């Protein structure tokens, strides 16, 4: 009860103001609400360590267990001023809770000061100053399938030739950054008539005002919609034992992310291959942590993936053109366009309309001790380095046949148990 009361008090009196200042009223209040929705399941023996993600490093003492999509808590300042607020970030439901001092505007330059093969903390910069944070127990890396391999490589853990190319001493050679997998979505678009879509609504100021008022007073309307309104699983061909395609359908269309929608009514039928055979990589391009890594997903680089892509476009056309429900709206394909018909043309079209669906995984692959392609073991510990774990989507050996959010939360839940049991 004391832990619950403590959490409630700080959620309202300390965390809410910084959350609102950082994220704005809407997201700040949402995060504040999340911070008081926790249920403390027990008090643990304090465990200290360093946790780093896009917010930077912090020293943590884990004091409780909760069901919260968030991360870590009670921390102590290490050499720099820290900003205090409850962190409800992107790592998923970790099963751990407390209070946290979070440094803002930091850049992790490398993971640890190595001592007898053990990770002892991290080096980072803040405000132009080179600093470090020490961990007495463990250092946990949760920077994602792009950030985690980059930080490991900068720390001297990765492919030897790559590290030597950039003048980084090899601390431990592992295939960090290899095995990159992602779901490539093919964004087919169809023009329709006799129905309104978000395309026309977003090009009309009266319609946008109406959407805002409807949400403000009724909490209904387009502003309550998720990114995709229809989802479906299908087989690219009957020989598939289980569905290998996933659809995301939206009442909007655009040439690419970040540009305005088309000025006419249309919808997008996005379809992705759930079990790609292509494997890519993430590799640093410099020893400078500010330099972006090279991300090469190698989409459509295998014959199997090209065949599935062509079959996906054909199946989508058949669903749209033969659907009695859509017939009154006379759908007309304009992305990629009906002129693409042959196998080679469809593969070319897939390359033109294909883009990531933001499911990168696999670059710090989990595997058995006899698996030469594995970076972490079954306990999520980096092989050959004591006191260092990776807990994020990068540990997946193979991409899941569906969205990766829930599996990543599961990894975080499992990882939190492994840390507590250590």
To 5 degrees, how large is the angle CA 77–CA 80–CA 85? 55
State the burial class of residue 383 (Cβ atoms within 10 Å of its Cβ: 0-12, 13-18, 19+): middle
Beta strands in 220-352 (DSSP E): 230-234, 245-250, 266-273, 280-283, 294-296, 332-335
Distance of CA 142 to the CA centre of its chain: 10
Q: What is the DSSP string of 69-85?
A: BS----B---SS--EE-
Residues recorded for the chain: 422
* Burial class of residue 4 (count of CB atoms within 10 Å of its CB; 0-12, 13-18, 19+): middle
Nearest to 114 by CA among 98, 144, 88, 134: 134
124 φ/ψ angles, rounded to the nearest 5 degrees: -150, 170
> What are the contacts of 241-247 at 24+ separation with CB within 8 A?
242/401, 243/274, 243/401, 244/273, 244/274, 244/275, 244/308, 244/401, 245/271, 245/272, 245/273, 245/274, 245/308, 245/312, 245/315, 246/183, 246/271, 246/272, 246/274, 246/402, 246/403, 247/271, 247/316
What is d(CA 29, CA 377) in angstroms, rounded to the nearest whole number? 39
d(Cα 264, Cα 200) in Å, to the nearest integer?
6
CA 341 to chain centre: 35
- Is residue 183 part of the annotated active site? The answer reads no
Q: Where are the alpha helices (DSSP H) in 323-404?
A: 343-353
What is the C-alpha to C-alpha distance for residues 419 and 375, in angstroms, rounded to an integer?
18
Q: Of 270, 267, 247, whose CA–CA distance to 192 is shortest?
A: 267
Cα–Cα distances in angstroms (integers) from residue 73 to residues 69, 93, 95, 303, in the given order: 13, 13, 11, 48
Known catalytic residues are 359
């Amino acid at each position: 009860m004391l832990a619950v009361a403590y959490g409630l008090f700080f959620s309202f009196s300390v965390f809410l103001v910084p959350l609102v200042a950082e994220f704005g009223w809407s997201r700040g209040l949402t995060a504040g609400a999340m911070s008081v929705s926790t249920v403390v399941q027990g008090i643990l023996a304090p465990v200290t360590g360093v946790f780093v993600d896009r917010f930077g490093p912090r020293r943590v003492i884990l004091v409780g267990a909760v069901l919260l999509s968030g991360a870590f808590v009670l921390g102590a300042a290490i050499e720099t001023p820290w900003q205090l607020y409850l962190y409800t970030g992107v790592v998923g439901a970790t099963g751990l809770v407390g209070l946290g001092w979070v440094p803002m505007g930091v850049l992790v330059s490398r993971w640890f000061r190595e001592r007898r093969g053990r990770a002892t903390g991290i080096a980072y910069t803040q405000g132009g100053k080179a600093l470090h944070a020490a961990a007495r127990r463990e250092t946990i890396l949760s920077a994602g399938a792009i950030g985690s391999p980059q930080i490991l490589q900068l720390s001297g853990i990765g492919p030897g030739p790559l590290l030597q190319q950039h003048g980084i001493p090899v601390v431990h050679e592992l295939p960090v950054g290899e095995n990159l997998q992602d779901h490539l979505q093919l964004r087919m678009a169809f023009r329709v008539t006799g129905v309104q879509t978000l395309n026309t609504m977003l090009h009309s100021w009266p319609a946008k005002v109406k959407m805002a008022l409807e949400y403000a007073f009724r909490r209904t309307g387009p502003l309550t919609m998720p990114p995709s309104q229809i989802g479906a699983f299908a087989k690219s061909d009957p020989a598939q034992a289980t569905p290998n395609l996933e659809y995301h359908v939206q009442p909007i269309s655009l040439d690419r992310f970040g540009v305005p929608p088309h000025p006419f009514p249309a919808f997008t039928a996005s379809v992705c291959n759930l079990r790609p055979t292509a494997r890519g990589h993430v590799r640093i391009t410099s020893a400078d942590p500010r330099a972006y890594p090279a991300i090469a997903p190698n989409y459509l680089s295998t014959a199997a993936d090209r065949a599935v892509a062509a079959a996906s476009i054909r199946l989508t056309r058949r669903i749209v053109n033969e659907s009695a429900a859509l017939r009154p709206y006379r759908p007309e394909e304009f992305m990629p366009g009906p002129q693409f018909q042959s196998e080679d043309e469809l593969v070319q079209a897939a390359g033109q309309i294909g883009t990531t669906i933001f499911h990168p995984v696999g670059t710090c692959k989990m595997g058995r001790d006899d698996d030469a392609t594995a970076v972490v073991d079954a306990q999520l510990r980096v092989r050959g380095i004591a006191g260092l774990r990776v807990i994020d989507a990068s540990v997946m050996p193979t991409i899941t046949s569906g969205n990766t959010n829930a599996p990543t939360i599961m990894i975080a839940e499992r990882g939190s148990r492994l840390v507590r049991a250590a």
